[in-house]
A and B are shown apart, each in its own frame.
Chain A
Amino acid sequence: MSDHHDHDHDRTVKPMVEEITDFEVLEIALRELCIEKGLFTAEQHRVFTEFAEQIGPTPAARLVAKAWLDPEFKTLALTDALAASKEVGVDWLEPTGFGTPSDFHAFKILENTPTLHHVIVCALCSCYPRPILGNSPEWYRTPNYRRRLVRWPRQVLSEFGLELPKDVEVRVQDSNQKHRFMVMPMRPDGTEGWTEDQLTEIITRDSLIGVALPKPGITTNVFSATRSAIRPVVQ
């Protein structure tokens, strides 16, 4: 690797200067021009930023926990997922009055059964039920997941540690138009008598995508390796 070492030499002798990135320059320039042209108001930008900062997977987990405990609510979740979302505090028409433009206003929950397992992907981009599940993980957006899940779902699921028996039908839902999908996993054994709060804890984001199953004692997603940002979101 001596060649590689030579190339690095340049960098190691220069003093470290923290420079603005090309992406930051572009974002700032575009935002300034939009504001100067009156394309949106400062208030709209502020409201949407606050909305985007508070979304996450908790309401989705609570929705499934409620459905596990209440058969009537489960029926609502499976027939009118937008109405069920409201019951856990998520109105898909917020914050604009017509929703988050990229996520549209059509939501469907896919029920797993002892003989049917769902898993979602957007092979065309990154369609994801963002208002109720938060931002998609980076891996969900990668060409690798999108290329392979539709064609080799069992192999990809096994990479997440999920091996499904042959008598369980694997159904891939490619979410590619205006519908957003989420999986309703089955309630696992060993949770008898649990409260809604206890159940919510084990319903991980990954189990709602369909790459994992809820399990007593497991409250985290499958992979924790995280690439750090240069300048992360300002809290």
Chain B
Amino acid sequence: MSTAAERAKQLALISRLRATYPEVPEWPAPDMVTHDHFLAYMKTPHDVGGELNVPEPFVEKEEEQWELMTYVLCEVLGWGGIWLSEERRRIGNVDVGRAVYLGLPYYSRWLWSVGRVLVEKGYVSWGELTDRLVEVAARYAGGLDGRLPEAQPKFVGDGSTVTRNREHTEMVGVGDPGVYTGKAGKAQFTVGQRVRVRELPALFYTRTPEYVRGADGVIAEATYESPAPEDETWAREDAAPEWFYIVRFNQSELWDSYTGPDNDTLQTEIPERWLEAAS
């Protein structure tokens, strides 16, 4: 059990976690929210390119055993057709919201995404997950006492009736995006063509970075065909593949007051729906 003082202490801790602009009160009225603030709140938090940051030391990190196990868990769920990588990338990097995205370790969000997808898709109920969390914590309640944490499944389940995506079998031998080769028709843009990145109101998910939206670039290469991540992330089986392009931007045009030479460039990969011809 917890004391009233302990409960108050945790509430005080949470009260200091800030997730809003300080110039606007929490729980604003509609007239208090500007268009710019709306876009900022709607921005997918994984898209950090170009944000301000002071230099910090670059360090390496030794991997925790649970981090390796988390990576493997995510990948074998992909192998088994429980999810696509594009689902994982959204759930663990975007759906978490900005506070968790920046506030918790990298692999803890991978882990969060596993729990989330299992519950959302009905593989595991909230009760089953909660009971198991309590049970595992209880096994080690007195401390690890020299033991390493260990998974102890009660039995091995029969996987033959589990619902799985079709991609995990279709991709065997050809990979992803190879499985979509020849399925998008003719590429609309050609190498060397000038294009503009459309400024779409991208709610919920995208992989077209905000820092190139509205900018002009040149098609460097038509790369492969694939469903756009904005469809694939919800595992839509009706998503039509489209062409992807590596687009090259001139840095001094892309950024206000770029400090490097005029011919520095940046390339990023963009699906066709995000591009239009520019003159």
Q: Is chain B a partner of chain A in the same complex?
A: yes
Q: Are B51 and A33 in contact (CB under 8 A)?
A: no
Contact A173 B267 (CB under 8 A): yes
**CB pair B105 A38 closer than 8 Å:** no
Question: How far in angstroms is the closest Cβ of chain B from A125?
Answer: 5
B171, closest chain A residue (CB): A98
Across the interface, do B175 and A48 meet the contact criterion of CB distance under 8 Å? no
Interface residues on A, range: 35 or more
| B69 and A31 within 8 A (CB) | yes
- Determine if A144 and B60 form an interchain contact, defined as CB atoms under 8 angstroms apart: no
A176 and B76 contact, Cβ closer than 8 Å, known pairs A40-B159, A231-B65 = no
A84 to chain B, nearest CB (A): 16
A233-B156 in contact given A100-B75, A104-B176 (Cβ < 8 Å) = no
Contact at B160–A38, with CB atoms within 8 Å? yes
- Complex contacts, A144 vs chain B, CB 8 Å: 53, 55-56, 58
Q: Give the docked Cα–Cα distance between A147 and B209 (Å).
A: 11
Q: Which of B56, B76, B267 counts the most A-chain CB atoms under 10 A from its CB?
A: B76
B178 at interface by CB-CB < 8 Å: yes
Chain A positions within 8 Å of B, measured between CB atoms, are 17-21, 23-42, 44-45, 48-49, 52-53, 92-93, 96-102, 104-106, 108, 123-126, 135, 137-139, 141-148, 150-156, 159-160, 166-167, 169-179, 221-234
Q: Which of B21-29, B81-89, B190-198 contacts A (4 or more CB under 8 A)?
A: B81-89
Residues 90 to 116 of chain B near chain A (Cβ within 8 Å):
93, 102, 105-108, 111-112, 114-115
CA A152 – CA B145 in complex, angstroms? Answer: 48
Chain B contact-residue range equals: 35 or more
Q: Is the CB of A102 within 8 A of B85?
A: yes
Contact A39 B154 (CB under 8 A): no
Task: Given A105-B178, A145-B58, A232-B64, verify A23-B49 contact (CB < 8 Å).
Answer: no
Give 14 CB contacts A-B under 8 Å. Answer: A27-B66, A28-B149, A30-B115, A32-B153, A32-B154, A37-B124, A40-B82, A106-B223, A147-B51, A156-B55, A160-B58, A174-B49, A179-B269, A227-B60
Report if B30 contacts A (CB, 8 A).
no
A151 to chain B, nearest CB (A): 5
What CA separation (Å) do A42 and B72 show in the bound complex? 12
